[in-house]
């Protein structure tokens, strides 16, 4: 994977864990300036149909404190859904995304749109064995 100037990744980042850290460190390895877009509460509640444990302000504060993160922004459903809107607003060279999206219709379309304007998508693997959902489930037990 080549080195990019400005990269971005999006996520909820609730119950921050080592999988989140691994993702953000991998993103930073491949760009000089990393923007982390934290999804707003409306996105979490209405799209993921979950209630965040930590407030948006707390999630932003945690992400902003990481040395691998250069900038933290809050994004709405519209920006997460329409990656061209995200690109126009945040002016990045590469979008980092989980490899589970690779090959999906949604991301094939985004790859085509990005190619026309010189932006890229790089897919990164998730850390196996840890997720916010798993943590919530284990806490219920």
Q: What is the distance in angstroms between the CA of the first residue and the CA of the last residue of the chain?
A: 41
Nearest 5°: the CA angle 19, 138, 102 is 35
50 counts as catalytic: yes
CB atoms within 10 A of CB 7: 24
Candidate list 45, 48, 108, 109, residue with the active-site label: 48
Q: Contact, 60 vs 72, CB < 8 A? A: yes
89 counts as catalytic: no
C-alpha 27: how far from its chain's center? Answer: 10
Distance (Å, whole) CA 56 – CA 22: 21
Catalytic residues: 48, 50
């Amino acid at each position: 994977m080549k080195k990019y100037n400005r990269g971005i990744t999006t996520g909820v980042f609730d119950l921050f864990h080592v999988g989140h850290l691994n993702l953000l460190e991998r993103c930073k390895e491949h760009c000089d300036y990393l923007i982390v877009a934290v999804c707003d509460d409306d996105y979490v509640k209405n799209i993921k149909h979950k209630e965040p444990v930590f407030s948006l302000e707390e999630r932003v504060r945690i992400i902003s404190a990481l040395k691998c993160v250069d900038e933290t922004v809050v994004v709405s459903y519209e920006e997460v859904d329409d990656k061209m809107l995200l690109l126009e607003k945040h002016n990045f060279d590469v979008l980092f995304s989980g490899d589970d999206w690779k090959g999906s219709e949604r991301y094939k379309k985004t790859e085509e749109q990005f190619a026309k304007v010189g932006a890229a998508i790089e897919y990164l693997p998730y850390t196996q064995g840890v997720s916010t959902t798993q943590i919530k489930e284990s806490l219920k037990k």
